[in-house]
Each structure stands twice: as structure tokens, then as C-alpha cells.
Amino acid sequence: MFKKGSIQSHLTLTDKILSLDFVLFSCVLILGIISFFAMYSTDGGEFAYHTKSHIVRFIVFFLLFISVSFFKTNFWYNWSIPIYIAILALLLFVKYFGLTSSGSQRWLNLYFINLQPSELMKVGLILFLAKYYHRISAGDVNRLRYLLNPIIALIIPVILVLTQPDLGTAFLIAAGGVVVIWLAGVKLKFFAYLAAIFLSITPIAISFLKPYQKARILTFLDPSRDPLGAGYQITQSKIAIGSGGLFGKGYLNGSQSYLDYLPEKHTDFIFTLFSEEFGFFGSCLVLGIYILITWRIVNIGNIVRDTFSKLYCYSFATAFFIYVAVNMGMVLGLIPIVGAPLPILSYGGSSMLAMMFGLGIVMSCGIHKDQPVG
């Protein structure tokens, strides 16, 4: 599908710094700064726990983002399978030894951070599949024997995450994997067969949903059915966003947020808080930054030479935008609440770690675009 690179060059540290995509670099930094102010607002205008820990995490993970980008793309190519296996092992470890909170067993206590391996799998699966399709010829992509491995690699982590249970993250992991398979050249009829199978088992799958998951779906269809229970969160989110108007109520003046009408405002509903305070135009600014990040990732995918880098960049760009779209769609009431953080902006160490790591590999592909991979 893509031609492999044939030019090799040695890059000094100065060369690598000058080769950074400074538009992508700046957008990530700007999002981080916006997140500082947003988190300060969620803490009621005080430099409290969420703000302090979020700032520290962003600084650490931003340095990780830069550090990852300085490693050769071939390094990430060689380590893609071990990374995937390691994250899979962490998911298994979570199943038996993980922390339980709010009825879900998703985290590992590493003392300095409660790690959620399912967030890391969003990047790990894309890495694994990009390497897989780099190693096989375009003519083999649609052969059944070559379709089984990626399907298995996708299904195993999705099932493990579903058992935690975490329907939202499982969906996002699956979406990232499907994007890689599609971009690798698998024919659309294959996805049509999968869709038919999925629809046929949907009635069975619904029977395995937890009561709160069923309530979220029913609330999405009719938020007024339980306005003080399952529908409370999305109702308050819509009120907050609508009350922001065109220009917002002003920084630290969001009534829904400050009067604690809005639950989880520092995590999945951070965009709601921002929209209430900065209005439609402020929301468009944030969305514009996310679109610019996606475009820069695609642009890097356009200039790299090898299949692995192209597949990784295109797939990560698509998955990244899906993460943004799902979160924003969720807080606007366009899709059911699934517990999906807004990349970089939301509070959460595991999510930020995964996104910074993933973006660092994108930058690595761009910096080392002339060096061979594989």
C-alpha cells in the first residue's frame, strides 16, 4: 500500500529539535494551558488538589511527549508488539488485582498514579496493528488467514475492558483498531459482515449490560424520564452549555459549575464547564485546536515514507478525533454518556499519559521520516 523509506540519515539533538512540528507542539501546549485554567475553575477558583496534580501531570507528560519524539521510529516499530503485550498483561492484572471504584475495576495503584491500562491500550493496539500491516504485502491484506490475527488482537482487549465494566473505553479501543484495519486496505464488505454479526448479537449483548448502562441508553432516548436520577447529569450539562450563550458568563462565573449542579465537571464534563464560562465562541476555539492537531497528525502521515508510520499517523489522527467527538457529543446529549475523557483537557493521568505517548510517536514519525523502518 505504501512504499518503505530508503534514505537513512543521522540526526543530532539540534536537528531533532528543529524538526519538531511546532504547530502540533504549540497546540498541545495551548491545550495544556487552557486545561490549567479550566481545572482551577473546577476547584472553585482555588489552587486545590485537582489543579495542582493536573499541572504536575501535564508538565511531566509533556516532557514525555518530547522525549518519545526523539526516539527513532524504528525503535517504536521494534517495541510495538512488546508494548501491546505488556498493556494486555496489565489489563489481566487489573481483572484480578485492580482497584474498584463506583462498581468498576479499572485501575492499578502505582502510588504516584492510579493507572488505567485500558487508556494505554488505545495507543498500544494502533501500534501493534500498524506493525502487523507493515509486514504483510498489500495482496495479502484481504486474505482470511491474515484477517484473523488483527481481529483476535482487537477482540481480546475489548472483552477484557468490557468485563471491568467500561463500555465507553472498550468502544474507543475497538474504534481505533477498526480504523487501522480499514486504512490498511481491508475491503468494506468485511466490515459489512462484521456489522451484520454485531447487529445479530445486539439483543444478547443488551442482556449483559449493567443496570446503570441500560439507564444511560434510556436516558439518552428520553432525558425527561428521570430528570433527578439517570437524566440529571446530561440535563445539567445542556443547561450549562445553553446558558453560556455566544460569549459565556465569564471566567469563574459559571453558576451550574460553582453551585455543584454539574457532577464530574473536572473529568468527562470539563467541556461543559468551559462552554458555560466562555460560550459558543470559546467552545469553537477549543474545537478548532483539536481540529488543527488532527490536521497536523494527518500532515505528518502525508510526508512519512513507510507503511508503519503512515498507518500509525492516519489511524491515530482518526482515533484522536473520534475521542474528541464522542466526548463533545456526550456532553451535548447527542450520544449516550459513556465515560470518555476529553483528550488533554480532562482531569485524569492515564488518559493524558496515553495521549501524550501517542502524540510523541506521531512526532517521532515526522522527525525521522527519512530513516528506514522495519
- What is the percentage of the chain residues whose pLDDT exceeds 90? 58
In one-letter notation, the amino acid at residue 327 is N
Length of the chain: 374
In the structure, what pLDDT confidence band is assigned to residue 1 with cuts at 50, 70 and 90? very low
CA distance 20 to 206: 46
1 and 181 Cβ atoms separated by less than 8 Å? no
At residue 128, the 3 state secondary structure works out as helix
Task: Classify 44 as helix, strand or coil.
Answer: coil
Report the distance separating Cα 297 and Cα 316, nearest Å.
8
pLDDT in tens, 2-19: 444 333 457 898 999 999
| Residue 335 confidence (pLDDT) | 85
pLDDT tens track for 251-309: 988 876 666 677 778 888 899 999 999 999 999 999 999 999 999 999 999 999 999 99
Q: What is the mean pLDDT of the chain?
A: 87
Confidence (pLDDT) at 334: 86
Average pLDDT, stretch 314-332?
94
- Extract the C-alpha cell encoding 18: 528543529
Pick the more confident residue, 231 or 226. 231
pLDDT in tens, 47-82: 888 899 999 999 999 999 999 999 999 999 999 999
Please say whether the beta carbons of 374 and 308 come within 8 A: yes
Is the pLDDT confidence value at 144 over 70?
yes
- What pLDDT does 336 receive? 82
Burial class (CB within 10 angstroms; exposed 0-12, middle 13-18, buried 19+) of 219: buried
- pLDDT, one tens digit per residue, over 177-210 is 999 999 999 988 888 888 887 777 766 766 666 6
Cα–Cα distance for residue pair 138/132, rounded to 1 Å:
12
d(CA 93, CA 206): 27
Region 145-153 average pLDDT: 92
In this predicted structure, which of 175-179, 314-318, 333-337, 352-356 has the lowest mean pLDDT? 333-337
Grid cell in block for residue 278: 466562555
H or E element at residue 290: helix 270-303
Q: What are the DSSP calls for 197-225, one per residue? A: HHHHHHHHHHHTS-HHHHHHHHHHH-GGG
Among 37-41, 127-131, 227-231, 353-357, the minimum mean pLDDT is found in: 227-231
CA distance 309 to 114: 31
Quote the CA–CA distance of 19 and 338 in Å, as a whole number: 38
Instruction: Collect all residues with Cβ–Cβ distance below 8 Å to 229 and sequence separation of at least 6.
Output: 215
How far is Cα 323 from Cα 28, in angstroms, rounded to an integer?
15
Which pLDDT value is given to residue 208? Answer: 63
Q: Are 26 and 318 in contact (CB under 8 A)?
A: no
